[in-house]
Amino acid sequence: MWHTLKYTSGLNEKLVYVSEPIPEVHDYDVKVPSCTQQSESETEQDSLDIAIRNTPAIIKEPLTPTTPVTQTPFFAISKSNLSQSIIGTNMTTTQTTTQIATQAASAAAVAPQHPLTEAELEELLNIAMGERGGGTGGPPPRPPGGGGLPGGGGPVVGGGVAAQPVAAAANVKAMGKDPPLFKGERSQADTFMNEVEKYLMLNYDVAGFNSPKKKVVLVLTFMQGPEVEEWTRGMLQWIQQINDQSNTDNIWCIFQHCFYNRFTDTQADSTARKELVQLKMRFPDIDSYIATFEQTVRKALYRLGSHEMNQQFISRLPRDVAEDVMRYPTPITYQEHTKKALASV
């Protein structure tokens, strides 16, 4: 039986109660017919449904368990600043057993390195000089006498053809002048290490010069005086504790990092920035101005070739030279600025 609901409102709450019945609601009851007949389409079974039901379930095998995560220190010397700080990067590698096997096979077969072409060498030169100094702005001039190589009139090596590498000489002795002695002057630390790197590069094919431990000891022999005595003594003791199996390039990287941390002038960049603001070209000594400008920019930790440094280079030129540099065609790169400045003087 259906009943009506009524509501009353009190002070704090609303009450609901059942009122009189309403039997007339049942006058509208409708009988719902039941369907007992099936159509022909329902009695037929679809062949696709039968195939799906009869297909055995395929359960995928679980993934191969991964090996434990290992932390591998990777050292790289960053030469973008004066301190040449070492960058310690922890490379996290998570590898499956199949990946380890694949990498082991690929490591065994190392692809041979091909000689760089002339165009690739010039591109590397432009990149290096764009960071460190003024480049030539183009390929070097060819020797006179038909454009051939010196001494024989052979064909010029094209930009896309790789020349044959020069074979390493046997029984090579150390060449060049020893780097100057370093006695602990912070202002000379960067210059000293630059001379050391040039000396080591000149003698890279000399027996023993490729050993990181021997390179460190060699540099220690160029460091003398009371300001460096204790530091070199500690470095020598460190080298003596390293076995031959650990004689890797990491030793040289760590040594450079420790050297710059100990002897680099921490105020060199701010001092160089003040010198850069005061630097001016004294006509007609354009070569000295360019060399000093590039060295000061590097010490100030600025990027040579940036728009700001190109504007700084022009602003310290004499007015007539600056006007010649900015005449059409307008220079864009730092090499173009220096080339037009040299031609103007």
pLDDT tens digit string along 239-275?
999 998 999 999 999 999 999 999 988 888 899 999 9
Q: Above pLDDT 90, what percent of the chain?
A: 39
Q: pLDDT confidence of 213, banded at 50, 70, 90?
A: very high
What does the H/E/C string look like for the chain?
CCEEEEEEECCCCEEEEEEEECHHHHHHCCCCCCCCCCCHHHHCCCHHHHHHHHCCCCCCCCCCCCCCCEEEEEEEECCCCCCCCEEEEEEEECCCHHHHHHHHHHHHCCCCCCCCEHHHHHHHHHHHHHHHCCCCCCCCCCCCCCCCCCCCCCCCCCCCCECCCCCCCCCCCCCCCCCCCECCCHHHHHHHHHHHHHHHHHCCCCCCCCCHHHHHHHHHHCECCCCCHHHHHHHHHHHHCCCHHHCCHHHHHHHHHHHHHHHCCCCHHHHHHHHHHHCCCCCCCHHHHHHHHHHHHHHCCCCCCCHHHHHHHHHCCCHHHHHHHHCCCCCCCHHHHHHHHHHHC
Domain boundaries, the chain: 181-265, 268-344
pLDDT tens digit string along 50-84?
777 777 666 555 554 444 444 433 333 334 333 33
Q: What is the pTM of this model?
A: 0.49
